[in-house]
Structure 1
């Protein structure tokens, strides 16, 4: 097993990065949060998982241990392969994803591209008790319940009413609320509109 890779980012692709390490270039598949942190020419260290198939060996990388933990949990569910796990990790921040699983919000999970209703229900059924406690700090931001900050839910409701997809809205608002916990609904909506356009 390859536990991590450290090297220079040589190329950024849509869903992967090429990292030069020890004279070789490794294509490492990554989720959007990891891809966003990689800069061409900079040195990175990513925790990895090697997936061996009949026709290929695929390396998946994560800048954050929480992403790796969720990837391992997701790929342990029947019918969820590494690419679908990356799609979930790309479209939902870890706290939102963990909160959706913990709260049993199959609707939010199925709003992710490639995740059907049955797969979403299976994710909830198999992982509900396995999500690490520290990832569930703000589960109601992902679920249908009212969050401790009503401005978050008000902003989400308003953006969905404007026609934005729920998964994108919840992801954007959760990130903004985490960065600025005292923000009003109006402030969250304005900042989220900037991110969603």
Structure 2
């Protein structure tokens, strides 16, 4: 099992990237935020999951162990393939995804591309309460965050998208007021 690689990024494609490790090139599929942050030629450390199927070997790469554990937790649900698990990790930040899984928030899970209502409900049902506490961290939402999300939803943005942006902003500035969160979120969402 390949669990970790460190190497130089050779190039990126729509669904993954090539990594040069000790003279060998590996192709890894990855969540969109991680893939977007990679730069050709840079040295990176990648936590990996190797899937062996009859049609080939597939390697998936993540920026941290937390994202890898969430990916593997999602794969434990019947009907969840790597494509859907990557979509969830691409749509929702890891802490928000862990929180949604722990609370059984099917509506938020269904906001990911390729994850329909039925699959989201199955994931929520099977994983509710099964998320390890270390993946959850502190409760991510505050009153300011809830107010900001509701305001952005009222302005016509998707609630899941607004929540993801607001929680990311809140992680960088935990003492931010609702007005600050709304202002910064609008810059990102436009």
Pairwise same-fold verdict (TM > 0.5): yes
Aligned to 2:178: 185
Does structure 1 residue 2 correspond to structure 2 residue 20? no
- CA RMSD in angstroms, aligned pairs only: 1.4
Distance 2:187 2:24 in 1: 39
Secondary structure at 1:172 match in 2: helix
8 A contact 1:99–1:138 mirrored in 2: no
Aligned to 1:81: 81
Pair 1:155–1:57, CA change in 2 (3 A): same
Does structure 1 residue 70 correspond to structure 2 residue 63? no
Calculate the TM-score normalised by the size of structure 2: 0.94
2:158 to 162, 165, 168: 165
Structure 1 unmatched runs, 5+: 142-146
Aligned to 2:119: 119
Calculate the TM-score normalised by the size of structure 1: 0.90
Structure 2 unmatched runs, 5+: none
Following superposition, the deviation at residue 90 of structure 1 comes to: 0.8
Distance 2:58 2:189 in 1: 31
Following TM superposition, the consecutive aligned residue runs of length 4 or more in structure 1 with deviations greater than 3 angstroms are: none
Aligned to 1:29: 29
Deviates more, 1:128-137 or 1:43-52: 128-137
Number of residue-to-residue matches in the alignment:
190
Distance 2:73 2:168 in 1: 22
Following superposition, the deviation at residue 138 of structure 1 comes to: 4.2
| 1:89-136 alpha-carbon deviations (Å, 9 max, x no partner) | 111011111111111211111121111112111111211122010222
Aligned to 2:189: 196
